[in-house]
Structure 1
Amino acid sequence: MNLKELARKLDLSPTTVSRALNGYPEVNEATRERVAAAARKYNYQPNTRAIRLATGRAMAVGHVIPVATRHEIVNPVFADFIAGAGEVYSRNGYDLLLSVVPDDDEERAYRELKSRGTVDGVIVHSPRMQDERIPLLHDLGIPFVVHGRATDSARPYPWVDVNNRRAFQRATEFLLDLGHRRIALLNGLEFMDFAIRRRAGYEAALAAHGITPDPAIMAAEEMTETCGHRLGVALLSAPNPPTAFLVSSMIMGLGLRRAIEERGLRMGRDVSVIIHDDELSYLRNGDDVPIFTATRSSVREAGRQAAAMLIGLIRGEAGAPRELLMEAELIIGQSTGPHRG
C-alpha cells in the first residue's frame, strides 16, 4: 500500500496523512492517532528517503557508546534497552546509528554527529554526576533523552529512569522486617547515578531503623559474576558476616550465590539475597517462581519509553513528556527468609 491508497482509506488528503505520520505539530492528536492506527492495520511502510527529502531530517537516532573502561557494549542491559528502543524506531521509520568510541573520543563523536547531520537526536547512556554530556548536547542543539538521571546537573534535561532510591529502600526494609540487621550492599560503580541513588535508599532504610551503615559490608564495583563471587567470599569469610545481601544486578547475584554454595550454605535459608532484576529477555529470574527476590523494572520498556520521548521531542510535539520515573516492583522469590539468629 502506498501513501495515496492509505489516504483514500482514511478519506484524508495525502498531505494530511504524510504530515500526521511525520510528526508535524499542526496535525491534531486525534488525527495523528487515527492515521497511525490505519498504518499499522494496513502494514503501511513510509518511504524513508521521501521523508528525508521532505523534512530535512536524517530519520536516524544516535547511540554513542564508550567502551574502553565501562564495557557498555557487552552489558546485557544495554542489549535489551536497544531492543525496546528499536521497536519504536522501526515503527516510526527511524534507523539506529551506533557509534562505538574510546572513552576520550565521546565528545568528538557527538560533535561529528551534529556537523554531519547524520542523526536527528541521541540517547545518552550511563549518566554520571554532573555529566558533561548534558551541557554539551544543549550547546550543540541536538535533541536528546537520558536513560537515567545525572545528579547535580546544572541544566534541566529530558530523562527516563527507574526509581532506584525507592527500590533499594523498599528492599532493605523488607530484609529488616525479616529480622536481618547486618545487611551488605554490593553496588555498582558509584560514579554512576543509579548506584548513588541505590546506596541512598539502602542507607535511608537503615537509618530509619536506627542502624548505622557499616562501610566494611558495603562495596561498589563492576557488576560482574566474578566481582559478586569475590566480594561474597570475602564478606562471608569475615568474623561477623552479613546475614543478608542487597545486590545491584542479577549477574553479580549469580556470583554471590556461587560463593554462598561454596561455603556449604543455602541461599534463602542461611543467607538472604535481594537483587535488582532488569527483566532481561535471555537471563530470566526463574520460571513460575523467581529464583531471587528482586526489585524488578523492565529495561526493554525503558528503551521503548525513551525512544518514544525522543521522537516526540524531534517532531516538536506539543505536550511531549520530558521526564518519566518508572517504579520497580518488589518480587518475592526463593532467595530470602527470616533471620535465623
Structure 2
Amino acid sequence: MNLRELSSLLGLSQTTVSRALNGYKDVSEATRARVLAAAKAHEYRPNTRAQALATGRSRAIGHVIPKISTHAMVNPIFADFIAGAGETYSQAGYEMLISVVDVDDEARAYRSIKARGLVDGLIVSAPRMNDPRIELLDEIGLPYAVHGRATGTERPYSWLDVNNRRAFSRAAEFLLDLGHRRIALINGHEEMDFAHRRRQGLEMALAARGLAPDPALMRQDEMTEGYGYRAAREMLAMPDPPTAFLVSSVICMLGVRRAVEEIGLTLGREVSAITHDDQLSYLRDDGPVPAFTATRSSVREAGQRLARMVLERIDAPDAPHRHELLEAELIIGRSTGPAPS
C-alpha cells in the first residue's frame, strides 16, 4: 500500500496522512492515532526517499568507525550495540549509515557527512579523554549522543554510560572481602574513558583498605582473548603473582582462563577473577551458576536507549541535554573464591 492508497482509505489528504506519520504537532492526536492504526493494519511502509525530499531529513543515523578500530566491525560487543540501536532506528523509520574512515580523516569525514546531508544525527562511540569530536560536532551542527563520557570535556552533551568506576570498585571490594590483596587489572586502552574509570574504581577500593596499587599488576591494551592470555601468563609467572584479576571484557576473560588452566591451576580456587560482561547474545554466561563472576550490563539495551536519545536530539535540538548512568549488577559465579593461604 502506498501513501495515496492509505489516504484514500482514510478519507484524508496525503499531506495530513504524511504529517501524522511523521509526528507533526499540527495534527490532532485522534487523527494521528487513526492514521497510525491504519498504517499498521495495512502494513504501510513509507517511501524514505520521498520522506527525505518532503522533510529535508535523510532518515538515517551515522556511526563513524576509524580504521584503527576496524576490529570493532567483527567485535561481538560492537555487533550487539549496533543490533540494539538498529532495532530502535527501524521502529522509528530510520536507516543506519556505518562509515569506516582513516583515523587521520575522522574530522573530515564528519564534515563531509554533514555537508552531503547523509544523516540526521550521529552516535559517538568509544569516547576518549578530552575527546575532540564533541567540540567538532557542536561546531558543524549535527545532533549526536555519546556512548560513554569524555573526562576533561567541559561542553554539555547528551550521553549514556555504565557506572564503570562504581562497578570495578564493587568488584574489587568483593575480592578484598575474600582476602585477596594482590589484585591485577587487565584493562582496555586507558585513553578510553571507560578504562580510565575502571582503573579508578580499583584504586579507590584499594585505598579504602589502606592498600597501594601496584603498577606491575596493571595492563592495558586492545581487549582480545590473546591479550588476556598473555597478560595473565606474564603476571602469574611473577615471583609474587596476583591471586585475583579484574578483567575489562569477557573476551579477555577467556584468555585469562586459558592462562590459568595452562599452568595447572583452577579459576575460582587457586586464582580468582571478575570480568565485565556485556551480556552478549552469542556469548551468554547462563546457567544456575555462571562460569564467571561479573559486573554485568547489557550493551544491546544501551544501543536501544542511546538510539532513542539521539532521535530525541534530532526532534528537539535545543532541549536540555539528557544523561543516563546505568549501574552494572555484580553477578557471583564460579570464577571467584577465598584467597589462597
Q: One fold, TM greater than 0.5?
A: yes
Moved more, 42-51 or 314-323: 314-323
Instruction: Report deviation, 1:3.
Output: 5.2
Instruction: Report deviation, 1:29.
Output: 8.4
Cα contact 2:278–2:298 (8 A) shared by 1: yes
* C-alpha distance in structure 2 between counterparts of 1:250 and 1:41, whole Å: 43
* C-alpha distance in structure 2 between counterparts of 1:258 and 1:26, whole Å: 62
Instruction: Report deviation, 1:338.
Output: 1.3
Cα contact 2:313–2:319 (8 A) shared by 1: no
Structure 1 residues 19-30: aligned runs within 5 Å? 19-24=19-24
Residue 309 and residue 36 in structure 1: after superposition, are their counterparts in 2 closer, same or farther (change >3 A)?
Answer: farther
Q: Which residue of 1 aligns with 2:303?
A: 303
* C-alpha distance in structure 1 between counterparts of 2:206 and 2:12, whole Å: 61
Instruction: Report deviation, 1:319.
Output: 6.2
Q: Which residue of 2 aligns with 1:293?
A: 293
* C-alpha distance in structure 2 between counterparts of 1:295 and 1:279, whole Å: 10
Q: Which residue of 2 aligns with 1:216?
A: 216
Instruction: Report deviation, 1:5.
Output: 7.5
Structure 1 residues 193-272: aligned runs within 5 Å? 193-272=193-272
* C-alpha distance in structure 2 between counterparts of 1:28 and 1:158, whole Å: 30
| Residue 53 (1) aligns with residue 89 (2) | no
* C-alpha distance in structure 1 between counterparts of 2:170 and 2:28, whole Å: 42
Q: 1:244-299, CA deviations, whole angstroms, 9 ceiling, x for partnerless residues?
A: 10000011111111110011000011111100001111112244431111011111
* C-alpha distance in structure 1 between counterparts of 2:190 and 2:34, whole Å: 46
* C-alpha distance in structure 2 between counterparts of 1:301 and 1:138, whole Å: 26
Residue 151 and residue 317 in structure 1: after superposition, are their counterparts in 2 closer, same or farther (change >3 A)?
Answer: closer
Residue 135 and residue 286 in structure 1: after superposition, are their counterparts in 2 closer, same or farther (change >3 A)?
Answer: same
* C-alpha distance in structure 2 between counterparts of 1:230 and 1:265, whole Å: 16
Q: Which residue of 1 aligns with 2:280?
A: 280
Cα contact 1:313–1:320 (8 A) shared by 2: no
Count the aligned residue pairs.
Answer: 341
Q: Which residue of 2 aligns with 1:76?
A: 76
Identity across the alignment (%)? 64
Cα contact 1:52–1:58 (8 A) shared by 2: yes
* C-alpha distance in structure 1 between counterparts of 2:310 and 2:29, whole Å: 17
Instruction: Report deviation, 1:242.
Output: 0.9
Cα contact 2:70–2:100 (8 A) shared by 1: no
Taking structure 1 as the reference length, what is the TM-score of the superposition? 0.91
Q: 1:134-166, CA deviations, whole angstroms, 9 ceiling, x for partnerless residues?
A: 000000000011111111112111111111111
Structure 1 residues 1-341: aligned runs within 5 Å? 18-24=18-24, 43-68=43-68, 71-316=71-316, 322-341=322-341
Cα contact 1:253–1:275 (8 A) shared by 2: yes
SS of the counterpart of 1:264?
coil
Q: Is there any run of 5+ residues in structure 1 with no aligned partner, and where?
A: none
Cα contact 2:143–2:317 (8 A) shared by 1: no
* C-alpha distance in structure 1 between counterparts of 2:333 and 2:19, whole Å: 49
Cα contact 1:25–1:316 (8 A) shared by 2: no
Instruction: Report deviation, 1:24.
Output: 3.3
* C-alpha distance in structure 2 between counterparts of 1:166 and 1:29, whole Å: 43
Opposite residue 269 of structure 2, the aligned amino acid is R
SS of the counterpart of 1:71?
helix
Instruction: Report deviation, 1:18.
Output: 3.5
Instruction: Report deviation, 1:339.
Output: 1.5
